[in-house]
């Protein structure tokens, strides 16, 4: 951390207050987001929204944890992102991975995406420290066959647009390569 950023009480100035990292499945977006946070501070918070509902998901979660290592503190928040954001500190960036799983959890719990999105945006605006959010870009593929699938795709698109509008930096990852869409 630079002396200037330490004096301001936050992580590296190269990490904006709010960064959104988008990409397709297995695009490298989580690794990219982790690298951003690790470069900004020696210790970080990781907010996991996934739930281990089957063996495959348990294996994915274990792989993510092993890759991150011991310098990360994990907060499990499949539904309560606002609570996770509330514990973020200026000197300890928060990585939320991922918004798309959070949205899926909301829909399965019967919660209103509009109300939850508004609460999330307000919480992000008031956050004490820098936050990096990861989300899937699901609108580039086929139109889902089921009404729930179409609703999920549409809500994910709205969520991504909503967060991108308030983010200082938005990065799209394709084949492990970043394309900055917004911010420097």
Beta strands in the chain (DSSP E): 18-23, 44-48, 72-76, 94-97, 131-136, 169-174, 177-182
Q: How far apart are CA 30 and CA 64, in angstroms?
A: 9
Active-site residue (options: 64, 68, 92, 169):
64
Whole-angstrom distance, CA of residue 112 vs CA of residue 155: 11
Scanning the structure block, which residue is given the tokens 């959010």? 133
CB 84 within 8 A of CB 94: yes
Element (H, E) at 124: helix 113-126
Distance CA 166, CA 142 (A): 28
Neighbours of 33 (CB within 10 A): 24
Six token digits for residue 107? 């829909």
In the residue annotation, 64 being an active-site residue is answered as yes
**What positions carry a catalytic annotation?**
64
């Amino acid at each position: 951390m630079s002396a200037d950023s330490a004096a301001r009480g936050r992580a590296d100035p190269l990490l904006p207050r709010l960064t959104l990292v988008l990409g397709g499945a297995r695009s490298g977006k989580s690794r990219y987001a982790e690298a951003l946070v690790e470069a900004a501070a020696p210790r970080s918070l990781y907010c996991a929204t996934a739930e281990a509902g089957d063996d495959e998901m348990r294996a994915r979660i274990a792989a993510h944890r092993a890759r991150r290592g011991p310098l990360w503190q994990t907060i499990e928040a499949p539904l309560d992102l606002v609570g996770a954001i509330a514990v973020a500190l200026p000197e300890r960036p928060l990585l939320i991975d991922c918004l798309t799983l959070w949205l899926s959890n909301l829909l399965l719990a019967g919660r209103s995406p509009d109300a939850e999105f508004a609460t999330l945006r307000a919480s992000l605006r008031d956050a004490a420290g820098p936050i990096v959010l990861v989300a899937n870009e699901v609108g580039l593929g086929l139109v889902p066959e089921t009404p729930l699938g179409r609703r999920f795709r549409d809500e994910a698109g709205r969520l991504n647009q909503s967060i991108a509008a308030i983010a200082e930096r938005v990065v799209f990852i394709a084949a492990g390569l970043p394309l900055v869409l917004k911010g420097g």
